[in-house]
Structure 1
Amino acid sequence: MTTERRYDIDWLRVIAIGLLLIYHIAIIFQPWALFIGFIKSDDALEGLWKPMTMLNVWRIPLLFFVSGMGLYFAMKKRNWKQLFFERGKRILLPFVFGFLAITPLHFLIFQQYYNMPLSYFPHMGHLWFLGNIFVYVLLLSPLFFYLKKNEKGRFKKIISKVMRYAFGPLTISVFFMLEVGFVKPQLFELYAQTWHGFFIGLLAFFFGFLFVYSGKVFWQTVSKWKWLYIGIAAVLFTLRFTRYESISNMYITTIESNAWILGLFGIGYSYFNKPSTLLSYLSPAVYPVYIIHMFVLYAGALLILPLDLHPILEFIAITLFTFIVCFLIYEFILKRINILKPLFGLKWKVKSVIEKMLKRA
């Protein structure tokens, strides 16, 4: 069965990962960087954090929404056995390998920078996201396969009807408010290895699937009302970030977060749902780049911070170093060495490897 390629969703994934890299680099220049295990610059750029406070309420939820959408498309051409095998290969294998071999690298660089005794410390680090996704696949796939078998049923008709209205997609914020009420997170944007991050990810993954499941009506709605969603999000962000922040709270932040995301889906569907040479290169690259970016980022900090440049130049230099080195590693190592491909979530054709081995024999 063939499925329509959604280039806008691919673009959103690429953009979200790119912003994630910049977000992590910005942390180096915050006074509290050491408290969360980042190398810290002696010269703070606290003003750099202002735009990050807008990003940090939707950047991770967006990736969970997109992952739920991706599962819908994966299920269109796979049964449950094929799906679990494919997700295990694409998500669980890179997660386990990263836990043992990739995330310890940036901890070693951290130890080196601060002249600490070097020690091997396997941990999830930034790959907690992959662990969550795999658990969501296991938990929600039975329900998703049931919904898939009943695509002409009453539930889909109800969902599709709700999605016709401007505020229909935004009504999912009620469930995110319930999550805030039950979990009571310290900060809305504290996702990594927390119950808040787990449940907000579960909700985003579930509703990402439902949005695509509801049919074209969802995309028509977000495309039509995209600027309304962006406007709502901008107003709520302004309240959260200005002297009116006392009006805001985490319950309202759920609306802001979802409004940004719905607006981005609308913008993507309206303007970016078309193929491009750049996207065809970036789309497979972002996953391995996401896996390796932390140790590359830390290596950049190790090399550049001791140069004692102006902090803005340090930020620019570490950003350029991180992006360039990540893509050099992807292009000349990960993309070309077949045995490494499955460890970094890249497609790996066993047949072609066997053929090469036979030719060499």
Structure 2
Amino acid sequence: MKTARRHDIDWLRVITIALLLIYHIAIIFQPWAMFIGFVKSEQPLEGLWTPMTMLNVWRIPILFFVSGMGLFFAMRKRNWKQLIGERTRRILLPFLFGVVAITPLHMFVFQEFYKLPLGYYPHVGHLWFLGNIFVYVLLFLPVFYLLKNKEGGKFKQILNRLMSNPGGPLLISLFFMLEAILVKPQIFSLYAETWHGFFLGGLAFFFGYLFVYSGQHFWDTVKKWRWGYLALALVLYVVRYFEFQLEAPGYLMALESNCWIFGVFGLSYRYLNKPSQLLSYLSQAAYPVYIIHMFVMYFGALLILPLNINPWLQLLGVIVFTFSVCYILYEFLIRRVWFLRPLFGLKGKHKNSVAKKVLVSKS
């Protein structure tokens, strides 16, 4: 079955990964950065924490939602064996390669930054996200194929009716609120390598699939009510800021997180569901850039933080350095060297396409 490409979902993947990079760079300028394994500026910018706290409750969950949506489209043209093979190449291979060859690089830079003895050890680092996604694929695939084979069944009809009104997506939030109540995360936005992150990510992945599976109803609803969801999210954030010093009870933060996400889905569906050459390029680049950004960012900090300049200039310098060097590595190395492409989640067709172009030019 052929389905139209959803350009807004591609844009969301690109934008959220870009926000992730900026968020990680901003952590460098927080006084607690070293406690979570980041290099730390001696000139903190604590004022950054306020906008960061607005972002941190939904920046990772939305990526899990989008990943579940991506699986829906991948299943349209693959059986379960083909899908597991494709996800193994696109997710598991880059994850394993990254654990042994990429994440140790930013640990080397960390050690150099703090004048620690250099030592190598494989670790998941920021690639924990990929490990979770691969596990979710294996866990949910039987359920998803069962749903795919019964697309005209009662479950989909109920889901369609539920998603046809603005309360439907909010009702789904009850599962996320229950997760926060049961798991009791000490810090809601601490997702990496925690049970909270695993269960929350699993819910987002599962419902991301269901939102696309339900058809047009969900997208019409979030497009129509996008400003309402964003307004509710803002109210919950204001309550969190003034009443709870930014760390509200988990069930409130779960509801706030989903309201931001539903509003963003509505905005992107309304304004970003359009093809463009820029999107085609960025959607390919986003995954490799996510994989390499940490060691590039740490190296930029190693070079820029010792400079005796204003911390806002340091922040800008690290941002420019990280995005520029990630682009250079992607464009001139990862994208062009055929054997590197699959290690960073890219399809290994570049070599063949170049060969075809040569043959065409000679004919």
* Cα displacement (A) at 1:172: 1.1
1:96 paired residue number: 96
Contact 2:187–2:247, Cα closer than 8 Å, also in 1: no
Identical-residue share of aligned pairs (%): 64
1:127 paired residue number: 127
Letter aligned with residue 216 of structure 1: Q
Contact 2:188–2:247, Cα closer than 8 Å, also in 1: no
Number of matched pairs: 358
Letter aligned with residue 105 of structure 2: L
Letter aligned with residue 140 of structure 2: L
Where do residues 62-141 of structure 1 align in structure 2 (5 Å cutoff)?
62-141=62-141
Contact 1:29–1:43, Cα closer than 8 Å, also in 2: yes
1:310 paired residue number: 310
Are 1:12 and 2:12 an aligned pair?
A: yes
1:144 paired residue number: 144
Partner secondary structure for residue 5 of structure 1: coil
* Cα displacement (A) at 1:308: 2.2
Where do residues 203-214 of structure 1 align in structure 2 (5 Å cutoff)?
203-214=203-214
Which whole-Å CA distance do the structure 2 matches of 1:127 and 1:161 have between them? 37
Contact 2:110–2:298, Cα closer than 8 Å, also in 1: yes
Where do residues 102-251 of structure 1 align in structure 2 (5 Å cutoff)?
102-243=102-243, 248-251=248-251
Which whole-Å CA distance do the structure 2 matches of 1:67 and 1:82 have between them? 18
Taking a change above 3 Å as real, the CA distance of residues 144 and 312 of structure 1, as seen in their structure-2 partners, is: same
Which whole-Å CA distance do the structure 1 matches of 2:299 and 2:244 have between them? 40
Cα deviation 1:244-302 (Å, max 9, x = unaligned): 65994211111110000000110011111001121111110000000000000000000
1:26 paired residue number: 26
Contact 2:181–2:250, Cα closer than 8 Å, also in 1: no
Taking a change above 3 Å as real, the CA distance of residues 350 and 49 of structure 1, as seen in their structure-2 partners, is: closer
Cα deviation 1:176-218 (Å, max 9, x = unaligned): 1111121111111000000000000000000000000111011
* Cα displacement (A) at 1:354: 11
Letter aligned with residue 179 of structure 1: E
Partner secondary structure for residue 340 of structure 2: helix
Taking a change above 3 Å as real, the CA distance of residues 355 and 310 of structure 1, as seen in their structure-2 partners, is: closer
Contact 1:72–1:212, Cα closer than 8 Å, also in 2: yes
TM-score by length of 2: 0.96
Which whole-Å CA distance do the structure 2 matches of 1:115 and 1:248 have between them? 38
Letter aligned with residue 293 of structure 2: H
The unaligned stretches of length 5 or more in structure 1 are none
Contact 1:113–1:302, Cα closer than 8 Å, also in 2: yes
Contact 1:338–1:353, Cα closer than 8 Å, also in 2: no
Cα deviation 1:124-170 (Å, max 9, x = unaligned): 00000000000000000000000000000000000110001111111
Taking a change above 3 Å as real, the CA distance of residues 85 and 34 of structure 1, as seen in their structure-2 partners, is: same
Partner secondary structure for residue 43 of structure 2: coil
Which whole-Å CA distance do the structure 1 matches of 2:39 and 2:121 have between them? 17
Letter aligned with residue 112 of structure 1: E
Taking a change above 3 Å as real, the CA distance of residues 338 and 247 of structure 1, as seen in their structure-2 partners, is: closer
Partner secondary structure for residue 152 of structure 1: coil
The unaligned stretches of length 5 or more in structure 2 are none
Letter aligned with residue 9 of structure 2: I
Which whole-Å CA distance do the structure 1 matches of 2:284 and 2:205 have between them? 21
Contact 2:240–2:248, Cα closer than 8 Å, also in 1: yes
Q: Which moved more, 1:234-243 or 1:38-47?
A: 234-243
TM-score by length of 1: 0.96
Cα deviation 1:55-74 (Å, max 9, x = unaligned): 00000000000000000000
2:294 paired residue number: 294
Cα deviation 1:66-93 (Å, max 9, x = unaligned): 0000000000000000000000000000
Compute the RMSD of aligned alpha carbons. 1.7
1:276 paired residue number: 276
Taking a change above 3 Å as real, the CA distance of residues 84 and 244 of structure 1, as seen in their structure-2 partners, is: closer
Partner secondary structure for residue 167 of structure 2: coil
Cα deviation 1:101-143 (Å, max 9, x = unaligned): 0000000001111111111121000000000000000000000
* Cα displacement (A) at 1:242: 2.0
Partner secondary structure for residue 202 of structure 1: helix
Are 1:338 and 2:334 an aligned pair?
A: no
2:255 paired residue number: 255
Partner secondary structure for residue 305 of structure 2: helix
Which whole-Å CA distance do the structure 2 matches of 1:243 and 1:120 have between them? 44
